[in-house]
Amino acid sequence: MTVRSALSCEGLGKRYGSTWALRDCTLRIPAGSVTALVGPNGAGKTTLLQLAVGMSAPTAGEIEIFGWSPQREPQMVLPRIGFVAQDHPLYRGFTLADMLSFGRRLNARWDEKLARRRLDSLGLQLSQRVGKLSGGQQAQVALTLALAKRPELLLLDEPAAALDPLARREFLQALMEGVAEEGVTVVLSSHILADLERVCDHLVILSRAHVALADSTEEIARSHRLLTGATRGVDEIAQLHSVVHANTTDRQTTVLVRANGHVYDSHWQVSNVDLEQIVLAYLALDPVRTPEQPVMSA
């Protein structure tokens, strides 16, 4: 079964001066998925999102949103996407009623009912001024405006980073309700996975401007195994499986592998690893050992 891609890129790169903010990025995000874009600050997450919405042009390669180029065919792309930038840009002097009429005039597919219903369920009044709202409320308003645009793809850049844990949870609840109701495809970036583990079904790990891993969370959890055993070399195991990270003390060797089928080797004790540990292992990759080719399934 082939699933339509919401976002796909091939050899995508963006250079600022002499620095590549994103390089050799090839991936596919299926329509209907909730994808977490994870990596440390400066890994290229914001660059990728800005390329996706056409706010900047690629230096190399191609990016497509539902098959269209955000740069060359913005008229096809812009009505289909919603973007919530890092600082939830809203006009602070506007009332919520002003924000709604702004959204209504700029967006052909605007859903006024949805917007009012959501603001109502947040306990907000249309006469309230944006600048007077709490951080969590502003994030919720930004999400409401983005959903009322009825996008097919919603991109969120660190949407919950500045929120306290309760506001963060409420934000993610609202976002997931939006997914359940509207069936919108979601890509959200974060420098930590912890919050997103429950909400995402696909994961893209960016590290040092490269894609380190991109797959469904189910496949990632299924294929990664932690091997522990008495101190020994990892060459033998590396011939059969991809070694992500190896750590050796004088007594014990611990290896995280992306397994190629089952691991049958009596030298090792094989155990499952949770998603967060896997992400940390990829992010901890020593730059010298970073493989030339990203570890990815076809």
Beta carbon of residue 134, minimum distance to another protein (angstroms, whole number): 19
Rg (CA), the chain: 21
Which of 1, 180, 230, 298 lies at the binding interface for another protein (CB under 8 A)?
180
Beta carbon of residue 141, minimum distance to another protein (angstroms, whole number): 18
Q: How many CB atoms lie within 10 A of CB 57?
A: 13
Residue 139 within binding range of another protein, rule CB under 8 A: no
Displacement of CA 204 from its chain's centroid (Å): 6
Size of interface with another protein, in residues (CB under 8 A):
17
175 three-class SS? helix
CB nearer another protein, residue 60 or residue 199: 199
Q: CA–CA separation, 114 vs 140, rounded Å? A: 13
Displacement of CA 190 from its chain's centroid (Å): 7
Span 260-289, contacts to another protein by CB under 8 A: 272, 274
Which of 161, 176, 240, 270 lies at the binding interface for another protein (CB under 8 A)?
176
Q: CA–CA separation, 215 vs 237, rounded Å? A: 23
CB nearer another protein, residue 134 or residue 272: 272
Which of 169, 191, 208, 232 lies at the binding interface for another protein (CB under 8 A)?
169
Determine the residue type at 210: H
Residue 34 within binding range of another protein, rule CB under 8 A: yes
> 3-state SS string over 108-134?
CCCCHHHHHHHHHHCCCCCCCEHHHCC
DSSP H helical ranges for 224-288: 235-240, 275-283
Determine the residue type at 133: L
Q: How many CB atoms lie within 10 A of CB 150?
A: 17
Which of 19, 125, 134, 173 lies at the binding interface for another protein (CB under 8 A)?
173
Dihedrals phi, psi of 59, to nearest 5 degrees: -85, -30
Beta carbon of residue 173, minimum distance to another protein (angstroms, whole number): 4
Beta carbon of residue 111, minimum distance to another protein (angstroms, whole number): 17
Span 182-211, contacts to another protein by CB under 8 A: 197-201
Beta carbon of residue 248, minimum distance to another protein (angstroms, whole number): 25
Residue 181 within binding range of another protein, rule CB under 8 A: yes
CB nearer another protein, residue 62 or residue 274: 274
Q: Which residues bind another protein (CB under 8 A)?
A: 34, 169, 172-173, 176-177, 179-181, 197-201, 221, 272, 274
